[in-house]
Structure 1
Amino acid sequence: MLQRCRWVTSGMLSQELIDYHDKEYSRPVHDEQLAFEYLVMELFQSGLSWQTVLKKRVALKEDFANNDIARVAAFGTDDIATLMQDPRIIRNRRKIEAVIHNARIIVNWHADGRRFIDFLWSFTEGKSVDIGPEDGEKLPASTTLSKEVSAALKDAGFSFTGPVVVESLLQAVGIHNGHDQGCAWHHLMTK
């Protein structure tokens, strides 16, 4: 039987969690829309379990225009009110407003020929960094890199992108390979 990361196997397993770990987690992402989707999910995850967010992923994607950054950036007061009424998502007004706010910043970057995902990868010169813990160690909630990226995002005006949220994002897009050293998927990310 293949060994997975402890964070996957330490609680009640859900198919969403297993699929995310096996097919997405820490795989290098260079797609802008997928990077935005992970940003949305990580932002909503703040203070909650990742499994909770994965269960709401389909609804989040539907409610946030299939993660179309330009469409989300155009959301207004009526859209926020509609989102606050949808019981399928995490109805936190500050998080909803942060998603829209961050989308607007990314749209402005696009107008200047910049991409959010390229910005993230620029901190490691396009290389993945292995931070996977050894047996008995825990994956860090934040790192020097996540603090640096978080500060840069804050300087750019982003909301809800503290070091812990950013660390999870770095792992989601594969900038950090967070797979445990003994995880069967760890070696796939280090090639």
Structure 2
Amino acid sequence: MPKRCLWVESEKATDILLRYHDDEYSRIVRDERLTFEWLSLELFQSGLNWRVVLSKRAALQRAFAYFNVDQIATFTEDDVKRLLEDPNIIRNRSKIEAVIQNAKEIADWHERGLTLNGYCWDEAEGERQDVGAQPGEKLAPTTPLSQKISRELKASGFSFTGPVVIESFLQAIGIHNGHNQDCDWHDVL
């Protein structure tokens, strides 16, 4: 039996959660669209169970133009209303508006030749950092890097990007390797 992270073993290990852990969690991401998708999914997860977000991921992708920043940046109040009526997604006005606001900020960065992915990797000095917990311990909810990036994103106009959301996001895109030290996936890039 493979050894997985404590958070997977402590949850009811559904297929969707196991696939996420085994195939995506803490894998290095360099794609800007996928980077934005993970930021959006992590902010939707705030206050919810991660299984809920993963179970709604396909619907969120469809509802949010497959996380195409340029398309989402043009969303209007009519789009917010449409999304709030979609029973297949997480219908939280603050979170929906945050995704749209963040897309507008990233679209502005793109016009200036910047990317969210590049910014995050630059802040990590291009290095993947191991934050995985020791056996039996839990991951720290924040790190100095997630606190710094959170402050800077908020100062730039991003929304719903507190240090806990950003820490989960950094783990999702592989800047932080969050796999437990004794997890069989710890050394997988």
Normalised by the length of structure 1, the TM-score is 0.97
1:68 counterpart letter in structure 2? N
**Partner SS for 1:186:** coil
C-alpha contact (below 8 Å) 2:132/2:180 kept by paired residues: yes
Please name the residue that 1:101 is paired with: 101
**1:83-118: CA deviations, max 9, x gaps?**
000111110001100100000000000000000100
Please name the residue that 1:72 is paired with: 72
1:188 counterpart letter in structure 2? V
Q: Which runs of 5 or more residues in structure 2 are unaligned?
A: none
C-alpha contact (below 8 Å) 2:121/2:127 kept by paired residues: yes
**1:52-97: CA deviations, max 9, x gaps?**
1000000000000011110001000111110000111110001100
Please name the residue that 1:158 is paired with: 158
C-alpha contact (below 8 Å) 2:6/2:138 kept by paired residues: no
**Partner SS for 2:160:** coil
C-alpha contact (below 8 Å) 2:25/2:174 kept by paired residues: yes
Structure 1: 4+ residue segments shifted above 6 A: none
Task: Give the alignment's Cα RMSD to 1 decimal.
Answer: 0.7
**Partner SS for 2:179:** coil
Structure 1 residue 135 displacement after superposition: 1.1
Report whether the alignment pairs 1:137 with 2:137.
yes
Please name the residue that 1:148 is paired with: 148
2:19 counterpart letter in structure 1? D
Please name the residue that 2:178 is paired with: 178
2:158 counterpart letter in structure 1? F
Please name the residue that 2:58 is paired with: 58
Measured in 2, the distance between the counterparts of 1:12 and 1:124 equals 33
Structure 1 residue 136 displacement after superposition: 2.3
Measured in 2, the distance between the counterparts of 1:34 and 1:9 equals 26
**Partner SS for 1:187:** coil
| Identity across matched positions, percent | 53
Report whether the alignment pairs 1:49 with 2:49.
yes
Measured in 1, the distance between the counterparts of 2:112 and 2:8 equals 40
C-alpha contact (below 8 Å) 2:70/2:103 kept by paired residues: yes
Structure 1 residue 9 displacement after superposition: 1.3
Count residues in correspondence. 189
Q: Which runs of 5 or more residues in structure 1 are unaligned?
A: none
1:138 counterpart letter in structure 2? K
**Partner SS for 2:114:** coil
Please name the residue that 1:118 is paired with: 118
1:93 counterpart letter in structure 2? R
Measured in 2, the distance between the counterparts of 1:34 and 1:11 equals 25
**Partner SS for 1:37:** helix
